[in-house]
Structure 1
């Protein structure tokens, strides 16, 4: 059985939820899921493929992601490694914000990262107002009001396009192993 390593950087859990969905879409793979925020030494030789998912908060990917890809850039290059970014801007599919080319976050990642993934996905995240601290709820409401999004702070809204995630999972599953 093929083995895949799934790594994630998530604030509210939507990125991990997407990885769990991808895992179910790959029945021929044994998947191990690891939080990038924990200090882990990774033995990449145990895996055929690697998938990293990371979320955006206030316009930025977590610095732990950059530290990880810098530390393990050679191992990532040697494997079939893919990346996906989760953000609320990707909800604007009609504007192409859900594509690697149309996502300013992915473009910034590619400029700052020594690793250039062979497959990239961009998925809309979720808005979990009731779970946020007062400060985050206020700031995110302000950002959403400026971008035409949901501003009712009593709501939780999931924008993730699961069909798009399925397509990405299938592409990841069929990537050729080096």
Structure 2
């Protein structure tokens, strides 16, 4: 049994939902799992594995993600570690791997941390869950990228089998 910490940064909740799925799977596999928001993460010393998940908002990860990594990079590299990014652009087959996802590539250029496990997941598009400004910005981005623009759209692009496969990789690492 391993002690695993999954830290998340989310805006509209999809990264938290993915974190919950990973935690449930890892617990079912016999691990002890703690999940925490990046702003209230516990001390890292007692964990064998640390996974961080973060969503994209308006083309960027939350600055708190980079601050956390900078403060804890030494501890992160001493443990089995991983990172996953959640975005709507990952809904596209040509942008849904760590190597092809522009947000994952941008993340890797902005930090010296090199996670051992990397993954990207499609997010959730729910126009009714956004405030007016976000709804209009995201609709415009979707129009440019040929995604759905109907204001009633609520589509979950997360590939749950891919999430489970990542969970298995975490377990086996």
TM-score class, shorter: over 0.9
**Aligned pair 1:67/2:32, yes or no?**
no
Which residues of structure 1 form unaligned runs of 5+?
none
Partners of 2:3 and 2:124 in 1: CA distance:
29
- Residue of 95, 100, 103 corresponding to 2:101: 103
1:134-173 paired onto structure 2 within 5 Å: 134-173=132-171
Partners of 1:166 and 1:34 in 2: CA distance:
19
- Residue of 121, 124, 130 corresponding to 1:123: 121
Against the structure 1 CA distance between its residues 13 and 31, is the aligned structure 2 distance closer, same or farther, given a 3 Å change threshold?
same
Question: What TM-score do you get using the length of structure 2 for normalisation?
Answer: 0.96
**Residues 69 and 114 in structure 1, CA contact (< 8 A), matched pair in contact too:** no
**Residues 7 and 51 in structure 2, CA contact (< 8 A), matched pair in contact too:** yes
- Aligned-pair distance for 1:37? 3.0
Which residues of structure 2 form unaligned runs of 5+?
none
**Residues 123 and 157 in structure 2, CA contact (< 8 A), matched pair in contact too:** yes
Partners of 1:15 and 1:33 in 2: CA distance:
12
Give the CA RMSD over aligned residues: 1.0
Runs of 4+ in 1 over 3 A off after TM superposition: none
Instruction: Please give the secondary structure, in 2, of the residue aligned with 1:84.
Output: strand
Partners of 1:132 and 1:72 in 2: CA distance:
32
Instruction: Please give the secondary structure, in 2, of the residue aligned with 1:37.
Output: helix
- Aligned-pair distance for 1:24? 1.8
- Residue of 28, 33, 36 corresponding to 1:34: 36
Q: Count residues with an aligned counterpart.
A: 171
Partners of 1:54 and 1:60 in 2: CA distance:
10
**Residues 23 and 35 in structure 2, CA contact (< 8 A), matched pair in contact too:** no
> Counterpart in 1 of 2:57?
57
Against the structure 1 CA distance between its residues 44 and 37, is the aligned structure 2 distance closer, same or farther, given a 3 Å change threshold?
closer
Question: What TM-score do you get using the length of structure 1 for normalisation?
Answer: 0.93
Partners of 1:13 and 1:32 in 2: CA distance:
17
